[in-house]
Chains A and B, each alone.
Chain A
Amino acid sequence: MTDTLVPAPLRQAAPLADGTDAEARPVFAEQRRWLGLTATGWQKILAPIAIGLIVLALWEFIVRQAGIPYYILPGPLRIFTTLIADWGTLSGSLWITLQITGLALLAAVLVGGALSILFTQSKWLEYSLFPYAIVLQVTPIVAIAPLIIIWVNDTLLSLLICAWIVAFFPILSNTILGLNSADHNLINLFQLYGASRWQMLRYLRLPAALPYFLGGLRISGGLALIGAVVAEFVAGSGGTASGLAFRILEAGYQLKIPRMFAALAMVSGAGIVIFLVLSLISHLLLRRWHESAIRREN
């Protein structure tokens, strides 16, 4: 049984001036909470953790039972101890990979956002440039990364460019869609009050595009990490930068398989953290008004 509580603001608003249909306002039922989370909240956190633990235990069990040598497939415990032992080297590489990812994502937001605004202000610009954005998107990064690495002297910068190319398209196309999806009657209303182009953008198109932009951002966050890792794979040991991809390659050459897995686990972990952080940002920005961030009441 869950208690049905009327939230405080509603109780205060109860005595109303005549002429409102406040009775028609939905009364939100509140669920019981444990340590600040509802039952569904705990479910969301505990279920994947349980699955993860079961799979890891099974992995460890199979490796031990079948006597698989660690240089073929190390068990999770050995990977974990390697991660701790090599933390000094690996954390430095993680930091470099995260820097490239973060900067590439930032550049993707800035360039993707700015281009989408430009494109929606001038159809002419959109028609002439958008096809080339698609060309960049569909060209495999593995194919153009070597060229970029040759052309750009600075390795870090070349990796950044590769990661940016992979990451910027979802932001661009989603934000364009968002900027064009403002309610037509609201556009009429803005025209009625003589809104300038800038006011239309500032008060109508940008807020309307926000959910779309954030959807693109969540995709781009993961893509920026993939771009950074793939580009570093292509750059190989030639570069001076030594991110996680370099550590994976290096460990592979040296047959330090547990270390390879440890670096791989860090890449996955970083990807999950990036996704969670971007989801949190999205939730905080949309929770008051957008359907995607609102719990269904029935």
Chain B
Amino acid sequence: MAWAASNAAKTVAATANRPLIVLRGIAKRYSNGTTAVTGLDLDLHAGEFVSLLGPSGCGKSTVLRMIAGLGEPSAGSIDWPTSDHDAHGRPLRDVGFVFQEATLMPWATAQQNVMLPLTLKKVATREAAARAQAALAAVGLDSFRRAYPRELSGGMKMRVSIARALVTEPKVLLLDEPFAALDEITRQKLNDDLLALWAKAGFTVLFVTHSVFESVYLSQRVMVMAARPGRVIADVAIDAPLVRDASFRTSPHYAASCRAVSAKLVEAIAA
């Protein structure tokens, strides 16, 4: 497949250069004294699909939020070496964020919800509408533009949420256990669709999950985290081909990778 090759080439080219996001010695302590994360290092290269896997309470969502700029780390640095910076020296983070729940505005239609990031960036309404329609079409919801969130199923709401995150064509897509509340069939479908979108658009993905199978199926790299305090204990490369479909789920390669990651997760829980 052409897109797979082009994305692979992009990844290789980018890896040779500086990474897109560099986290060094990240720690997060809350005011009540709990330490959510400590001594966390992470490099994210352009075009990569990386998963953060760990038991609940290991601080993986905290890391994701700090990368998005929702909350500052207590120690350490988050650098965007290849991005532009504003007058105060803060990086212009170019991210889309997908929350665990769809987090849509119930008073707005699917299209208005997807338009929101553009509206907030003061993009002209006509252009914003056109781009929102394109984004909805990309997630297969072309005919549901005028539907309100309550008229959509859980999977469709999550598609709207993904369309909203992608409508600004961000460099990085951050997903915080996005499919955890969905049924298995919908979840697999959304996994495949997310991979297809990633392959086509070539953005970088950091995907937080607590499912070994999901992380192995989707990612090129799985970072396994341990809890209390949250830290990375393993970085497992899943060097399977980029084209992944139902046949990958039954391949010995998939089974082996799942075993390897599971073993690390057991270590993480015991640690």
Contact = CB atoms under 8 A, between A and B. Distances in A.
A192 B107 contact: no
Given A193-B116, A194-B120, A289-B148, 7 more contacts: A19-B139, A185-B103, A186-B105, A192-B70, A192-B95, A289-B149, A289-B150
B186 A21 contact: yes
B140 A16 contact: yes
A62 interface: no
B79 to A, nearest CB: 19
Contact of B143 (A13, A21, A204, A288): A13
Contacts of A195: 120
B106 A192 contact: no
B95 A189 contact: no
Given A24-B153, A207-B107, A289-B107, A19 B193 contact: yes
B69 interface: yes
A261 B117 CA distance: 59
Contacts of A24: 153-156, 186
Interface of A: 12-13, 16-22, 24-26, 183, 185-186, 188-195, 199, 203-204, 207-208, 210, 288-290, 294
Contacts of B65: 188
A21 B155 contact: yes
Interface-central residue, A21, A26, A186, by most chain B CB under 10 Å:
A21
Given A19-B189, A20-B141, A185 B105 contact: no
Nearest to A20: B140
B5 interface: no
Given A186-B103, A207-B105, A207-B107, A21 B156 contact: yes
Interface in B151-173: 151-156, 159, 168
B105 to A, nearest CB: 7
Interface-central residue, B95, B107, B159, by most chain A CB under 10 Å:
B107
B234 interface: no
Interface residues of B, number: 38
B148 A17 contact: no
Nearest to B102: A185
B214 interface: no
Contacts of A193: 116-117, 120-121, 168
B151 to A, nearest CB: 7
A16 B143 contact: yes
Nearest to B99: A185
B39 to A, nearest CB: 26
B144 interface: yes
Contact of B150 (A13, A207, A294): A294
Interface-central residue, B65, B70, B159, by most chain A CB under 10 Å:
B70
A288 B149 CA distance: 10
Contacts of A13: 143-144
A20 B250 CA distance: 24
Nearest to B186: A21
Contacts of B156: 20-22, 24-25
B198 interface: no
Contacts of B108: 207
22 contacts: A17-B140, A17-B142, A18-B140, A19-B139, A19-B189, A24-B153, A24-B155, A24-B156, A24-B186, A25-B151, A25-B153, A25-B156, A183-B103, A185-B103, A189-B99, A190-B120, A191-B69, A192-B69, A193-B120, A193-B168, A194-B121, A289-B107
Contacts of B117: 193
A189 B100 CA distance: 12
Contacts of A21: 153, 155-156, 186, 189
A204 B95 CA distance: 21
Contacts of B119: 203
Contact of B116 (A17, A18, A188, A203): A203
Nearest to A14: B143
A195 B105 CA distance: 15
Nearest to A12: B143
Nearest to A184: B103
Given A13-B143, A18-B140, A204 B193 contact: no
